[in-house]
Structure 1
Amino acid sequence: MNVEKAVEAGHPPVVDVKHPVDSSSSIEGFTPDAQEGVKKMEATTSVWSKKHLIVAYILMWCITFVDAMQQGTSGALQPYVTSSFYQHSLTAYTGIMSGIIGGVLKLPMAKVLDIFGRPQGFALSVGCLILGLIIMASCNGVQVYAAAQIFYWLGYNCMSYTLGIFIADTSSLKNRGFMFAYVNSPYIATVWIAGPLSEAFLYGPGWRWFYGAFTIITLAVASPLYFLFMHNYHKAVKAGIIVPIKSERTFMQSVKYYAIEFDAGGLFLIMGGLVFFLLPFSLYSYQDGKWNSPLVVSFFIIGGLMLIAFALYEKYVAPKTFIPFELLTDRTVLGACILAGTLFVSFYIWNAYFSSFLQVVNGLTLTQATYVTNIYSIGSCFWSILVGLAIIWTGRFKWIALYFGVPVTMLGVGLMIHFRQPDQTIGYVVMCQIFIAFAGGALVITEQIAAMAATDHQYIAVVLAIEGMFSSIGGSIGSSVSAAIWTGVFPDKLAEYLPAENQADLLTIYASLPTQLSFPKGTPARIAIEKAYGDSQKWMCVGATAIMILAIFCVAVWRDIRVKDFKQTKGTVA
């Protein structure tokens, strides 16, 4: 494709990818009609060696190891960060906007990957993550911390998403579940690190130093993978497989082109609509009149109107749609995406205040609490390896989700309604977490394989972006519901149970986890706090169980695709 034809066709004239003249080449041909970033990646995998493929997977494992350690430690420290500003009740709120924005922006990130290339998108995501860490290290309030979370989660979600695309680009479909499980296996080890690390920073240099230290560590561990992919990209250029060409567009033409290509109008409407619609769930308790307050009502109205405007804009106005609706008409893709959203809604409803519950009600230390909260990480990652092997062996994936993943998840979440109470022992809570972990590992792998198996290689990035968007928005909805239950139940029950001599401290107890922990176990005040936690957690688990009913229908509509002999990728792949 020459420059003139590229401009006329509306393609970004960044590179021209062609077959080498040498007929002895092992390249089988690029995916028809694929965008430039897809062709770049196929060209890269056609020239790199098996050694570089192995090195790439080792580097991805190392990046995931650092991310997992960072995630576990940050999650343990978050209640203490919000409590340091006397805003413990906003623990769930800090993740709502970041989840929405980080999830929705996966679709334009898919465009970055497809138009400019995988390494460029990876570098952009790492930059956002590092910026978020820097802001969190220097924040002076919950509002700034929440804003930093937006950059952090945008970077983290897009980086993990880009790694997923790397795996999809460099592995055959039948092996892909196992390769996803392998790259995510560091969570098995970091479970035992996050607790001691969080305590070391909390009682040592402080939580700000944690974010500062991981700014440097993340940059150091992520850079080699970027340079490896760029090295092989330039190798493909030298081989003549990729011929760089210069764009002839002016600056304003480029702005207009990319505004259309990334659907800037639709992006603004859906992000704004979701943020305005979901924030009142966690903010209503701080307003006079609560649900009837002008701020809450206006947020709901504005959010609803923006979401309606988004649907109308995408249908009648947008030159290029934000969501490729033709993909969502496939029942397997749609079922996988809705399942992803459902799982995250359920998880974030019961998980938002879980660490605080374990410390206050069960009397665990911060390290011990991280061990319990990370059972999901270690269990799901371990089990997903077995699920990946099962898919390689049987060539199918639907049966794993339908007959094991969904029912066992519902069992584990449902049992928590009874066992997550002050009068129950920690052993039963751990049992529930093991059920959820094993089933969750099965569902995460099978939902991603289902979405990818139902489409071609050129749409892998978009399909995984849609699946990731559903996950992130589901997490935001779950956080909103959890925050609504917490702010609606916990303070009222606390006021009901607290002894008269502690009523004056009600607001301080509600606002600070360290204050809650300052009352010794067995004292009337601590018993009252534990009972208030139990009432709040019960309704969270009820909501988390109820939403899982959708998961049954989501998996049932999947096509039973045989992936054993399915070929999607080109070049040297795993």
Structure 2
Amino acid sequence: MADSTSSSGAVAHNDAREKNTAMDPLADQSSITSGSSEGSAQAGVKRLEATTATWSKKSLIIAYVSLYLMAYVTSLEQQTTFNFTIFATSAFAAHSLVSTVTVVQGVVLSVVKPPMSKIADVFGRLEAFSLSVFFYVIGFIMQAGSNNVRTYASAAIFYSAGQTGLQILQQIFVADTSDLLNRALVSSIPDIPFLINVWVGPEVASGILAGAGWRWGYGIWTIILPVAFLPLALSLFLNQRKAAKRGVLPPSPFAGYSAKQVFVNLWYDLDIFGLILLSAAISLILIPLTLAARASGGWSNASIIAMIVIGAVCLVAFPFWERSAKLAPHAFFPKNLFAKRTVLAGVGIAFFYFMAFYLSVFPYFQSYLLVVQGSSIVTAGRITSTFTFSSTVTSIVVSVLIKYTKHYKYFVTLGSAVYIIGLGLMLRYRQEGASTGTLVGCQIAVGIGGGMLNVPAQLGVQASASHQQVAAATAIFLTILEIGGAVGSSISGAIWTNNLLAKLQAYLPAETQDQATLIYGNITLASTGWPMGDPTRVAINRAYQETMTKLLTVAICVAIPLLPLSLLMKNYRLDQVDQHVKGTVVGGDISQSETREGEAIRNGSSAGVQSAPSPQNNSFVARLRSKCVVVGDGAVGKTCLLISYTTNKFPSEYVPTVFDNYAVTVMIGDEPYTLGLFDTAGQEDYDRLRPLSYPQTDVFLVCFSVTSPASFENVREKWFPEVHHHCPGVPCLIVGTQTDLRDDAAVREKLAKQKMQPVRKEDGDRMAKELGAVKYVECSALTQYKLKDVFDEAIVAALEPPSTGKGGKSKSKGSKCLIL
């Protein structure tokens, strides 16, 4: 299929020295609305993870059968309704504006994916699916009732929003419910119906056009699609309710918020202004390319100039807006993903692949077949759809091969070469009088290349993202894919409008010269108005053929970068990249953990966290890249801190801990990194035993509660002296816990009675500076506010400890704690 995709993987920063490193542990944590790469698991992700945790294998099968049903209906719709576009625009005497409608669709397909993925992350998958179906239905209603090309193009906005929403959500659903090794194969499930519907769709379209007409052809889907969506909606809803009954479903992210607070949060979380800038930039630059030839005065038309200028300003402003942490705290495109070579190469492949597709296969190839080759509607539809059929079959075969070879890059490179060769064959053999077999063969060659490169390229982008960034990475890939399609459509529209009419006026015989504009704007007149061999038909065919040759020449040129870009992608071994997907998924029940030395293995425990052996087990310590020990007074929340971070759940009851250990795997750059977490008892009874946990420590977290000034003072009086006595030179972070209680009325009242108040952040900063700590950080284990930041800072400190300790004493980079 031309635009099938999916995504997930493991992400972090390439340089541990930067303090803003986004290191995503296999157990993703989060704030409520953080949608950036720096954030952690959002409410929608947590709701999905809670739902999959309650799924049985039967539930998972039912969900996938429901997904397939919806995929079948949407594929039949697409293979049917794409045949109506040229006839709908011709009914408005505007056949040449097919590319304009396609550009509008491409713009919407481009910009809707990221916000839709964020909606899925913030509110939930079911809610996002429902919104997409709603947009789909509104679009069909408007298309069926449109009386001019403006209304028809406006309807395309809603239709495309619904279509792209369902497309990306299907792939996000697959990414949520499958491991990376099986994902390429499972992500092909929504494409399987195309194997049937590429042949059925043209037949259905032909029957509708011959009978009820194209308006009813759009209208029937307002009934069929919602009905097809019901099984999947019920499956998600019932399992979500099951999770709620078990008490594992997180609450709404906006519970207790006012309408204004919800609006402000969504404005920043969905990056609404960034979306507006990108939409305006793409549409105002590309759409004029398809309209200039028809506009009064052509390129000198004031409206055309104004659109391009405003679009250019928006395009320049967009990256500046996105780079501002204040204006766009949750940027449209996560910055850390674009720091990865594989992501950049992957989205580059998506861009040029779809750009070439919209110059060679769509949107004018079907018109070319109807006119130059004299094909029927059914035959033209089938020949055009051969690309979809061959690419779908190829993507399924490649997905199976990826599962067993465990590599994807080879297929991207080979597919790029085949795709370019296929376009060359099109240029050579797509000529007037060519046999149907020759035309089909060229389509198959290009389809094979597309099927080989598209899904694997997407998989490479996914292998560079964490589970929290699955939706974002998928959105990025599909967004750039659609932007490439929009650019290709605008270029093809510009070539078509600036060449076809001029050639018709040059080649038509004198008796039909005055009909050049009518022929140019009406595909029915061009294809059936004159028989083959008639001088007018010969002139029409020549104009169409020469214009198509120009389109194919440009298509080959823009496809050439595919090959070098494919070589830039990193050749991940997919069974060694942990996606940290939770629950019952395709590829296994993610409940047991397996860790190998220096590797992150796919079969991670719940969120990839492994309960570790005792601290005396030296084989365990030797397998870790860094060791982090948590110390502090009893009852300040040390255990809750670790449990919330490693399991993504806050413990329901307080259980005092003596010693406990965990291991969390994160990705730094493209390499797995294991952090051992050691919990200790703060009571005096364990003062002699506690130091047994200190050997080989790389970093300490010295904790206190912001609601307990006494525990804060003990950081200075007890914990820093103890740590520095046993482990001189080992970096320490001071961590303030329970920040969710700092403004609690009952807590403040209790402290006030003792003439005390909660510890302020500036107090923590001051103590960190006085004691020579690496940094002061504070968090809440309950709400997970800045919880992930604590451990990100710990990893940074462990990898790059300060060059001097307290008092300016030098310490080596690799200093460890040794007890003799």
**Same fold flag (TM > 0.5):** yes
Aligned to 1:267: 275
Q: Is the 8 A contact 1:12 1:247 kept in 2?
A: no
In structure 1, how many angstroms separate the alpha carbons of the residues matched to 2:108 and 2:60? 33
SS at match of 1:424: coil
The answer on whether the counterparts of 1:377 and 1:437 sit within 8 Å (CA) in structure 2 is yes
Following the alignment from structure 1 to structure 2, what is the Cα–Cα distance between the partners of residues 138 and 423?
A: 39
Letter in 1 for 2:500: F
2 CA distance for matches of 1:183 and 1:250? 39
2:162 is paired with a residue whose SS is: helix
Tell whether 2:570 aligns with 1:570: no
Residues 47 and 139 of structure 1: is their aligned pair in 2 closer, same or farther, counting only changes over 3 Å? same
In structure 2, give the amino acid aligned to 1:150. Answer: I
Which residue matches 1:434? 444
Other-structure match for 2:376: 365
Please say if residues 96 and 479 of structure 1, whose CA atoms lie closer than 8 Å, have aligned partners that are also in contact: yes
Tell me, yes or no, if the aligned pair for 2:96 and 2:496 is still in contact at 8 Å: yes
- Select which of 296, 306, 313 maps to 1:305: 313
Among 140, 155, 167, which residue is 1:160 paired with?
Answer: 167
CA distance in 2, matches of 1:439, 1:322: 30
- 1:257 partner amino acid: N
Give yes or no for contact 2:412–2:454 (8 Å, CA) kept in 1: no
What is the aligned partner in structure 2 of residue 384 from structure 1?
Answer: 395
DSSP 3-state at the match of 1:564: helix
Distance, in Å, in 2 between the alignment partners of 1:217 and 1:126 is 11
1:56 maps to which residue? Answer: 63
Instruction: Report the equivalent of 2:51.
Output: 44
Q: SS where residue 279 of structure 1 aligns? A: helix
Tell me the CA shift for residue 102 of structure 1: 2.6
**Alpha-carbon shift at residue 32 of structure 1 (Å):** 9.7
Q: CA deviation at 1:243?
A: 4.2
| Cα shift at 1:92 | 1.1
Residues 98 and 151 in structure 1, CA contact (< 8 A), matched pair in contact too: no
- Kindly, what percent of the aligned residue pairs are identical? 34
Match of 1:543 in 2: 554
Q: Is the 8 A contact 2:117 2:168 kept in 1?
A: no
Matches of 2:439 and 2:447 in 1, distance apart? Answer: 12
- Which letter maps to 1:136? Q
The correspondence of residues 99-248 of structure 1 with structure 2, limited to 5 A, is: 99-244=106-251, 247-248=255-256
Higher helix share: 1
User: 1:238 Cα shift?
Assistant: 0.7
Q: Residue 415 of structure 1 corresponds to which residue in structure 2?
A: 425
Give the corresponding residue for 1:249.
Answer: 257
Alignment partner of 1:519: what SS?
coil
Look up the match of 2:300: 292
Q: Is the 8 A contact 1:356 1:513 kept in 2?
A: yes
Residues 367-414 of structure 1 show CA distances to partners (whole Å, capped at 9, x for unaligned) of 011110000111111111110110011000000111x20011001112
How far 1:182 moved relative to its partner? 2.7
- CA distance, structure 2, for counterparts of residue 52 and residue 547 of structure 1: 45
Q: Residues of 2 paired with 1:92 and 1:407: CA distance?
A: 28
1:11 equivalent in alignment to 2:32: yes
Change (3 A) 1:539 1:32: closer
Contact 2:33 2:269 in 1 (8 A): no
Q: Which amino acid aligns with 1:164?
A: Q
Matched to 1:248, the amino acid is G
Q: Tell me the alpha carbon deviations over residues 478-512 of structure 1, each in whole angstroms, 9 at most, x when there is no partner.
A: 11000000001111111111111111111111110
Match of 2:518 in 1: 508
| More divergent stretch after superposition (416-425 vs 334-343) | 416-425
2:354 aligned with 1:347, yes or no? no
Residue aligning to 1:479: 489
Secondary structure at 1:242's aligned position in 2?
Answer: coil
Deviation at 1:270, TM superposition (A): 1.1
Q: Structure 1 or 2: larger strand share?
A: 2
Distance 2:344 2:310 in 1: 27
Number of residues paired by the alignment? 548
**Contact 1:174-1:392 at 8 Å conserved across structures:** yes
Query: Which residue identity lines up with residue 194 of structure 2 in the other structure?
Result: Y
- For 1:527, which of 528, 538, 541 is the aligned residue? 538
Matched, 1:324 2:345: no
Where 1:92 maps in the other structure, the secondary structure is: helix
**Aligned-pair distance for 1:418?**
2.2
Instruction: Report the AA paired with residue 311 of structure 1.
Output: P
**What's the counterpart of residue 409 of structure 2?**
398
Letter in 1 for 2:135: C
CA distance in structure 2 between the partners assigned to 1:183 and 1:305 by the alignment: 38
Give the SS at the match of 1:572. Answer: strand
Tell whether 2:455 aligns with 1:445.
yes
SS at match of 2:577: coil
Greater relative contact order (CA < 8 Å, ≥ 6 in sequence)? 1
Contact 2:112/2:161, CA 8 A, preserved across alignment: yes
CA–CA distance in structure 1, aligned partners of residues 378 and 392 of structure 2 = 20
- What is the identity, as a one-letter code, of the residue corresponding to 1:349? L
Task: Determine helix, strand or coil for the equivalent of 1:240.
Answer: coil
Counterpart AA for 1:555: S
How big is each residue's C-alpha offset from its partner over 1:225-268, in whole Å with a ceiling of 9 and x where there is no partner?
Answer: 01111111111111111242662222112111111111111111
Q: Is the 8 A contact 1:37 1:113 kept in 2?
A: yes
Give, in whole Å, the separation in 1 of the partners of 2:568 and 2:33. 37
Residues 1:491 and 2:501 aligned together: yes
SS at 1:318 equivalent:
coil
Q: Which amino acid aligns with 2:328?
A: A
Partners of 2:356 and 2:488 within 8 A in 1: yes
- Following superposition, the deviation at residue 224 of structure 1 comes to 1.3
1:198-223 Cα offsets, whole Å, 9 max, x none, are 11110101111111111101110012
Deviates more, 1:467-476 or 1:236-245: 236-245
Is the Cα–Cα contact under 8 Å of residues 102 and 153 in structure 1 kept in the other structure? yes
Residue 4 of structure 1: aligned partner = none
| Whole-Å separation in 2 of the counterparts to 1:493 and 1:226 | 52
Residue identity in the other structure for 2:432: P
Indicate the SS of the match to 2:381.
helix
Contact 1:237 1:244 in 2 (8 A): no
Confirm or deny: 8 A CA contact 1:106 1:469 kept in the other structure.
Answer: yes
Show CA shifts across 1:413-448 (max 9, x none). 122122222143332221110101111111121011
Larger C-alpha radius of gyration, 1 or 2? 2
SS of 1:393's partner is helix
Deviations 1:158-207, CA, capped at 9 Å, x for gaps: 10110100101111111111111233111000011111111111010111
Secondary structure at the residue paired with 1:458? coil
Partner amino acid for 1:382?
V
What CA deviation, in whole Å up to 9, does each residue of 1:119-155 have, x standing for no partner?
A: 1111111111111011111111111111111110110
Give the corresponding residue for 1:3. Answer: none
Aligned AA for 1:460?
A: V
2:47 and 2:250 in contact (8 A); partners too: no
Unmatched 5+ residue regions in structure 2?
1-29, 587-820
Cα–Cα, structure 1 residues 183 and 538, in superposed 2: closer, same or farther, change >3 Å?
Answer: same
Question: Whole-Å Cα distance in 2 between the matches of residues 476 and 488 of structure 1?
Answer: 18
CA distance in 1, matches of 2:233, 2:109: 21
Paired with 1:82 and 1:243, the residues of 2 have a C-alpha distance of 48
Q: Is this contact kept in 2: 1:37–1:114, CA < 8 A?
A: yes
Residue 347 of structure 2, aligned match among 329, 337, 356:
337
What letter matches 2:243 in structure 1? A
- Once the two structures are TM-superposed, the CA of residue 565 in structure 1 deviates from its matched residue by 4.2
